[in-house]
Every structure is written in C-alpha cells, then in structure tokens.
Amino acid sequence: MKIWTIVAVLTLAIFYNQSVIIANSGTAVVNTASLNVRSGPGLTYPVIGSMKRGESVDILSTSNDWLEIRLGASTGWIASWLVTSEESLDNQPKNIISKVNALNIRTEPSINAAIIGQLSAGEEALMTGQTDKWVAIQKNGIDGWVYADYVTELVHQQTEKEEKIESESREKSVEKIASNVEQDQLFTVSVDALNVRKKADLKAKKVGLVHKDESYSVIESDGNWVRIDLGKKKSGWVYSFHGYLTGKKDDSLRHDSKTTVTVLTNGTNIRSSATTASEIVTRVNAGERLPVVKEDGDWYEIALESGDTAFIAKWVVTTGDEELQKKEQPKNTVARAAGTLNGLTIVIDAGHGGNDRGTTGSRGTDEKDLTLLTTELLSAKLRAAGANVVMTRESDTYVSLRKRVSIGHQAQADAFISVHYDANLDSSVTGFTTYYTQTSQKSLAEAINNGLDGAINIRNRGAQPADFLVLRENKQNAVLIELGFLSNPSEERILKTDLFREQATHGIYQGLLEYFDGSQ
C-alpha cells in the first residue's frame, strides 16, 4: 500500500512540474527553411544538427515550448513554434485579425520578450505558427508573436493579386527598415555562438561564426536580420534577436592630441578595428598613456607611434587627469577593527542584466531580476559594516563579462563577489555552490560558503573550482556564488522570498568577516 502511495505522489509531482510530458506525443512537420536541433530545451544549448522545411519528426516528449525528437541514434530538441503538427496541416494560408487595439507583437512567445510592434483592432497579419497560448505572425516583413486570446483566425485562398500586394508590402517594409538603420551602430552577440550567413536567410551559406560579447559594426538591416562587418573586407548576416544594438558611433567626438587614456592591466590588446574578433596589432601594459583620435561606440581609436591608428576597448582603460591620479596613487589603507569591513573595497557583481536574462525558473522567475535584488541588499549590509562597495550594475542593464572584471581591477577590490542563481536540466537538483578558479581564491570561497551554510536552509554543495571568466581573468580575490536552483520548483519558491535574500546576504556578510578577520 505504501509503495503505491509513493508512486502516486511521484506521478503527481511529475505532472505538477510540467517539465516533461508523456512520450510519443505525435508527429510534426518543419515549417521554416532551416531548423536547428539542440542538445537541450532552450536557445542556450549547443546546436547538434539541423532540419529543413517539410521534414517530418516523431515527438518523444515536450518541455514548455520545446519538443524532444529522434535524431539518428540519439535525441535532440527543437522549438515547437517552428513546426506544425501533421494533423493540423492545411495547404491554405492563414491570416489572423486582431480583436483589440495596441496588441503587442513580441520577439518570442513570452510576455517578457521584447515588443517589436503592435496591431490595431481589425488589422490582419499572416499566421506562420502556433503554440498553446501564442500565435506566430508575419507583418510587414517582420516575424513576431501575439497572444492567441486577442486574435481570431481567418482561412482563405490568396489570389495572385493578394500575393503580389503582400510581396510588395514586404519589400517596401524592408526598404523602410534599411533606410532607418543607424549604419554606425554596433551589434553585440548575446548567445554563446552565432552563425554568420551570406544572405539574410537561415538556409544561406555560413560565412563565419561570432561569439558572446563580441561587437561588430552594422552595415544594414533586412527585417529581423542585420549585416555586420567582420573586418578584412568581409561581412555577413546574423539574426538580430541573438544580440543587441548599442550606441551609434559618433565621428564628431574627436579629441585633440592632449586627450589620452591610461591602460589598466598588463598585456592589453590593441586591435585593428573596433571589435574583439579583429586582429591584434600590439599589446600594451598597465600605466601606458595612449593618445585618443576619436570614440567609436565602446572603443577608442588611438594613435600609434608608427603614425597608424588602432583600437582599444573602453573597459580596459581609464580617462581624465583626476582618475589617472587616483589610479597612480597607492590604495589608502585604513586600520580595520575585527568584526568590521572598514577600509575594504568590495565589488558586488549582479549576474546578467538587460538583454541577458540569465536562467528563467520553472515558475517564470528571471535570474537577472533576482540577482539585482540580492546584491542591492548585500550592498546595504556591507556599507553599514564600513566597506567601500562598488556595484558592476545598479539597474537592468547589460554589462559585458570583461567590463565587470575591469571594474574590479580599477577599484583595486579586496574582494569581488559575483551573485547568480543556478539551473539544471534535472529539476530535482538543489542547493547553493560557491565557486573559485584560482588557488588564491579558494580561502575566500570557503569562508563565504561557511557563512551561507550557517544562514540558509538549503543543501550546501560546497566550495568548488570552476572555469568562469569573471574568476579566471580576475587579478583580484574573486568568487562566484550560485544561490540555489531556479529550475527546481520548490527551491524557486524559496529563492524568490524576501526572507531568503535576507538570510543569504547575511551569510555572505558573515563569510567576508570570517575571511578578513582570519587574514589579519
């Protein structure tokens, strides 16, 4: 009897989580030119294969808006909004009409996705796909998503005349978008790896690969695609939803020869163009002053002794005489009494932000929001204890990983604390972890982990080594904390509470006291 009770409880738990539904859910047909097959249910998982329009697949299981399919001898995952169930296939094109005014068109089937347009009441759009609650549409050459409850579907056979009008409308839309593009904008990649293609089409030939945090000059736009400058007279197209556009280059921001920037770290790269993917011209060391020719987005164009110009990233230099003097002076040391943080500089890094939402919990919690709430509370505690606190971000903005490290270097931080929340494909995994990369960081990681262990009531996964850029590239004493798993529904409920954040930040504070008191 007890065994059957346990089975029943486990069964209910599986359905309550809704992360995986019963296998053999039917078949579907690819309804886009090219469809990536990924190793897991999300855009952040590696691409392990691809499929073409019209190919049929067997659905093994589902996870939210993702479908697990058979891929050769193994399995993979595809986006459900890019396929159509065979049972619902219909040769007739479908249009939808908005039932309300100002219906938002979003980049993804989520209320948290970016808004890229609106439909007025009675306005039509071409329907290209559907999930349970969202409808994929195409309007004026732009692809997006609208909430299904606010539209009604029309089915009719397009005439030759209608097809021509629609085609012309798309062409005019593309021309309009292209004419409005800030051609001096920069496109920064926000996913781990992104294919660059010869044309603005998923089935076009691949001409390159770009990576997360790399920035490229934008040449033109075509619907949801942007053409970027790869350097050495090469260019290609990328899907714009996998990155973001940053500030316009301003050629008017020219400086006289007296304006200089000062390098913050040894071995800093000087590049041939304003992108981290371009060729390294030379390297310079901390303290060197470089004359600025002009600003170029997140870069400075500088003059070299040879008479040529090159580029250096803004996040690896400092500007202005006041800042320079501050940098050249040794850090002031203040006598610190045990049990306080007087005279210490602590950099607090709220993970993710802006276009980078981090992980999203099973109950819809965005990691970027939770890390900011946590670090704000931690900052208040540390300042009250006498620390000089520097935040890498204080709002919902994107900050590159290397910029975060540079902030720690410039502040000459006594400790760099990066705060995150974790996720795992196995939703049963729970607990907090404190990570370090360099041996010199291990003592700080262990002290903070001990502080958390005495403050929060979730599983302690210990202080562990890991290869994170903000730790690996950091010359300061740095740790990265994962404060529990948002992928676990029960733990997510705990992590979202004010009480947990209060306890967790107190634990980190106690860990810092333990570390610095022990270092005296």
Three-state secondary structure string covering 456-495? CCCCEEEEEECCCHHHHCCCCCEEEEEEEECCCHHHHHHH
> Cβ(484)–Cβ(452) under 8 Å?
no
For residue 144, CA distances in Å to 74, 136, 277, 327 come to: 31, 6, 30, 48
Q: What sign has the CA pseudo-torsion 166, 172, 175, 176?
A: negative
Cα–Cα distance, 192 to 210 (Å, whole number): 8
Residue with tokens 């390294």: 280
| Tokens encoding 273 | 């163009």
> Cβ(272)–Cβ(231) under 8 Å?
yes
Burial of 41 (0-12, 13-18, 19+ CB in 10 A): buried
Contacts of 353 by beta carbon, 8 Å cutoff, 6+ apart: 368, 371, 372, 393, 395, 396, 397, 398, 399
| Tokens encoding 252 | 């008017």
| Tokens encoding 118 | 């609106």
- Of the residues 68, 367, 482, 491, only one is catalytic, namely 482
* 175 in catalytic set: no
Query: What is the chain's alpha carbon radius of gyration, rounded to the nearest angstrom?
Result: 26
Q: How far is CA 37 from the centre of its chain?
A: 20
For residue 366, CA distances in Å to 229, 356, 400, 496 come to: 33, 10, 18, 10
Q: Are strands 193-197 and 186-189 parallel, antiparallel or unpaired?
A: unpaired
Q: Between helices 498-519 and 367-384, what is the axis angle to 10°? A: 50
Residue in 513, 374, 505 with CA at minimum distance from that of residue 447 = 513
Contacts of 251 by beta carbon, 8 Å cutoff, 6+ apart: 184, 294
Active site residues: 482
